[in-house]
Amino acid sequence: MSLENLLNHTSEWLRGTGPNSNIIISSRIRSARNLVDIPFSHWANDKQREKSLEEIKAAVGSALFLKKSTYLELKDYSELDKQFLVERHLMSREHAVTQDSKGLVIDEKEIVSIMINEEDHIRMQVMQSGFNLTEAWRITNEIDNELGVNLDYAFSPKLGFLTACPTNVGTGIRASVMLHLPALVFTNQASRILQTITKLGLTVRGFYGEGTEVQGNFFQVSNQVTLGRTEEEIIDSIDKVIAQIVTREENARKAMFMRSKERLVDRIWRSYGTLRSAHIISSNETIELLSAIRLGIDMDILKDLTIPVINELFILTQPAHLQKMEKKVLSHSERDLKRAELIREKLGG
Amino acid sequence: MICDVCSKKDATVHLTEIIDNKITKLHLCEDCARKKGAEMEEHFGLSDLLAGLADFESKAMPKKEAKAKCPKCGMVYDDFKKAGRLGCAECYNVFSDSLKPLIKRVHGSVEHYGKTPISRFEAKVAPKKEFKKKKVADDIDELKGQLQRAVKMEEFEEAACIRDKIREMEKKEVGKKK
């Protein structure tokens, strides 16, 4: 499969639709499964890893739900290609690290992706636009059942699904929601709220998940506990916390508009102005400015722009995406030029 | 604050957990944290922390398990301490006594309440009717699990509700058989 095809369309989860999409970019369910007869990926030898790849590949091939999906063997792809897939949130950074017998399954709309032989033999993720963990879980569950018919999962009635790391044992489910909280950050409430979250068995991460820093007021909140609760209970508890954060962000946005309207409007228009006129721009600055614009669209300050255009720019302005578009390797400074050019083009600067 | 492991340097890595309303804290200096997590680099992820925790817990570990080797994949507990990851499904049985406190610490529970995989037998061989009956039995089992939990949590009103539901379902099942 040629990855260039992916450049021409936007992933389904970036559509900017779905419940609370003004604050919640996307909802994601990740499930971890292993085959009972084969050691976990990091401990398996080449032959065993090859075997798990073949078995899972075959199971994917006969799953009706994955009829329109594409299978990629990572050894056939360059470092740049792998980075490109990471930027699109189709696989983890860990999966991009070289090791033989790694596979990736992507469905047509980029809603479902399955990493084969990552930390666990199967790491499936289902993404939805907006606040919709329930639908993401419904799809995950259906595919998991289909795959389970042809695979012998490592499962114990007592501990549930067995995973390489005991932090994932049980349901093997990680539910996460990507939030955009500029008003809570601006009013200095974000760190306090997010600290409280960690006390409720949830964790907070950056835009690209584990090990990434928070940029542009984007936060990824997910459950830490995977055992001792049903999947529905896990989703329900994270749903309730997220709903509260959404309300607080909405209130903070209203308060900001009432109290410091001029400053807010100034900041948003300046951000827009910079993006439309810059000729050299770094990835960090881009994310910060796009964050302000996203807020401006939601608050009806910028009327001619739409959320999907901004969501798409977050991904298209990433390093590997720029290089895939140019069809060549670009240096750091060349990327900053190309990035500015792309943004001007998309925003009509 | 001083590191809990070496008791010399300042602790810069802090782990706080709340299990059954009890707060547990672990403070590590960066050196000790680094020693424990083989893969720790720029970020200190949970699985890396776990490797450290496994070591911490293993001080109270049963001696026979310290030397045990998984017959299926050959992993010993020291390997787990280094990697923070187990070797295979069987490792959960082999190291079960040491893993239990660790799992309890992370999840606050050592019991699975989530879904069960559909076996090949159920999906392909079992006739549809059997499958349906099995499902009712499953539902009853699930309710029984919920009942136990409600009793444990001392939510007796809810427990009574669940008990009535189970009785009703069991009655229906018996009625069908007649």
Q: 10 Å Cβ neighbour count for A349?
A: 16
Give the separation between CA A258 and CA A264, rounded to whole angstroms: 10
Q: 10 Å Cβ neighbour count for A107?
A: 19
- Which pLDDT value is given to residue A338? 97
* B89-112 confidence digits (pLDDT tens): 999 999 998 899 999 988 999 999
- Which pLDDT value is given to residue A124? 97
Per DSSP, what are the bridge partners of residue A153?
A: A35
Give the separation between CA B93 and CA B35, rounded to whole angstroms: 27
Region B37-53 average pLDDT = 48
Interface residue A148 vs chain B (CB under 8 A)? yes
Confirm if A150 and A69 have CB atoms less than 8 A apart: no
Q: Output the CA torsion A322→A328→A332→A334 (10° steps).
A: -80
Confirm if A28 and A152 have CB atoms less than 8 A apart: no
The residue among A7, A237, A12, A22 whose CA lies nearest residue A139 is: A12
Is the pTM higher than 0.90? The answer reads no
Q: What is the pLDDT confidence band of residue B156, given thresholds at 50, 70 and 90?
A: confident
Name the stretches of chain A with pLDDT < 70: 1, 207-214
Task: Give B35 or A244, the one with higher predicted confidence.
Answer: A244
Residue B106: closest CA among chain A residues belongs to which residue? A167
Interface residue B6 vs chain A (CB under 8 A)? no
Find the range with the poorest average confidence among A124-128, A135-139, B16-20, B48-52. Answer: B16-20
Per DSSP, what are the bridge partners of residue A103?
A: A73, A116
Give the separation between CA A323 and CA A302, rounded to whole angstroms: 30
Q: Name the minimum distance, in Å, from the CA of B178 to any CA of chain A.
A: 32
Task: Give B160 or B51, the one with higher predicted confidence.
Answer: B160
Give the separation between CA A77 and CA A102, rounded to whole angstroms: 11
* A266-323 confidence digits (pLDDT tens): 999 999 999 999 999 999 999 999 999 999 999 999 998 999 999 999 999 999 999 9
- Which pLDDT value is given to residue A184? 92
Three-state DSSP class for residue A125? strand
Interface residue A231 vs chain B (CB under 8 A)? yes
* A11-35 confidence digits (pLDDT tens): 888 888 889 999 999 999 999 999 9
Region B149-153 average pLDDT = 72
Q: Over 60: is that where the pLDDT of B56 sits?
A: no
- Which pLDDT value is given to residue B83? 86
Confirm if A152 and B117 have CB atoms less than 8 A apart: no
Using CB atoms within 10 Å of the CB of residue A331, give its burial: 0 to 12 exposed, 13 to 18 middle, 19+ buried.
exposed
- Which pLDDT value is given to residue B61? 56
Cβ pair A199:B75 closer than 8 A: no
Residue B39: closest CA among chain A residues belongs to which residue? A94
Q: Name the minimum distance, in Å, from the CA of A137 to any CA of chain B.
A: 12
- Which pLDDT value is given to residue B151? 76
Q: Which residue in A36, A38, A40, A147 has the most chain B C-beta atoms within 10 A of its own C-beta, making it the best mutation to test that interface?
A: A40
Give the separation between CA A113 and CA A321, rounded to whole angstroms: 19
Give chain A positions within 8 Å (CB) of B78. none
Q: Over 70: is that where the pLDDT of B34 sits?
A: no
Give the separation between CA A91 and CA A89, rounded to whole angstroms: 6
Q: Which of A155, A201, A211 sits opposite B42 (nearest CB)?
A: A211
Give the separation between CA A327 and CA A67, rounded to whole angstroms: 30
- Which pLDDT value is given to residue B125? 45
Q: What is the pLDDT confidence band of residue B128, given thresholds at 50, 70 and 90?
A: very low
Confirm if A325 and A334 have CB atoms less than 8 A apart: no
Give the separation between CA A270 and CA B178, rounded to whole angstroms: 78
- Which pLDDT value is given to residue A244? 93
Q: What is the pLDDT confidence band of residue B40, given thresholds at 50, 70 and 90?
A: very low
Interface residue A47 vs chain B (CB under 8 A)? no
Q: Name the minimum distance, in Å, from the CA of B114 to any CA of chain A.
A: 4
| % of chain B residues with pLDDT over 90 | 19
- Which pLDDT value is given to residue B23? 64
Region B68-92 average pLDDT = 91
The residue among A113, A157, A158, A291 whose CA lies nearest residue A215 is: A291
Q: Over 50: is that where the pLDDT of B177 sits?
A: no
Cβ pair A160:B50 closer than 8 A: no
- Which pLDDT value is given to residue A339? 97
